[in-house]
Amino acid sequence: MKKHLFALFFIFAAAVSFYAQDKVPLDAEQNYLILSTKKIGTMEKELDEVAAKGFRVLYGAPTQQFDMALFLDKIGKNESPYSYKILATSRNKTMEKELNEFASQGYRLLPRTIVFKQGFLTAELVMVMERAANSNKKYEYKLVEAFKETKLHKKIEESIAAGFNPITMITIGNHIIVTEKETLER
């Protein structure tokens, strides 16, 4: 009986040790990194891990295997690490709501990370937001979309008149322009 308890304890300790280890292997001298995964939750965990080690997201891209890939660069030793949120949804209104929720917490969209990720039965718009450790800036976002360019031009002009600036675009059947404005601290 004692042997079985010891064996169970050993297996449990090994499992805890395995899961506590870093999931992303890095060399001490590594300055660039590519993360790629199908699952957004896994990407967020890996991104948190490498951000804590001084990496910052530069670009995002879809892959041919329904994955999302992020290209990261190592920041200077004196810089504080960035924190990240990955948003993924199939509905534009939901994306706009989530963008604004995290923007009110100081996160800012990284325009070069917008990806349309298609799976076997799913399709999602994915965006990465980052927050600098010492930043007190807040933002607001508006997704401007239309099928026809003439309607889109009018909507963009209305958005600009409301203080927003276009920062990026993605086309998924219709054109989606992401607009941003910095808001005052509340």
- Residue 103: predicted pLDDT: 95
Which residue ranges in the chain fall short of pLDDT 70? 1-22, 24-25, 64-66, 117-122, 185-186
- Residue 104: predicted pLDDT: 93
Residue 157 included in any domain: yes
Number of folded domains in the chain? Answer: 1
* Separation of alpha carbons 114 and 47, rounded Å: 16
Residue 116 included in any domain: yes
- Residue 143: predicted pLDDT: 94
- Residue 20: predicted pLDDT: 40
- Residue 65: predicted pLDDT: 61
Supply the range of the domain harboring residue 78.
27-183
Q: How many CB atoms lie within 10 A of CB 92?
A: 15
In 3-state terms the chain splits into helix, strand, coil percentages (rounded to 5) of 30, 40, 30
- Residue 162: predicted pLDDT: 95
Beta strands in the chain (DSSP E): 32-37, 55-62, 68-74, 83-89, 108-109, 115-118, 123-131, 138-146, 165-172, 174-183
Q: Work out the burial of residue 88: count CB atoms within 10 Å of its CB; fewer than 13 is exposed, 13-18 middle, 19 or more buried.
A: buried
Q: What is the pLDDT of residues 40-79, one digit of tens each?
A: 888 889 998 999 888 999 988 877 666 788 999 998 777 7
Whole-number CA gyration radius for the chain: 20
Token pair of 173, please?
Answer: 């059947």
Residue 165 included in any domain: yes
Residue 108 included in any domain: yes
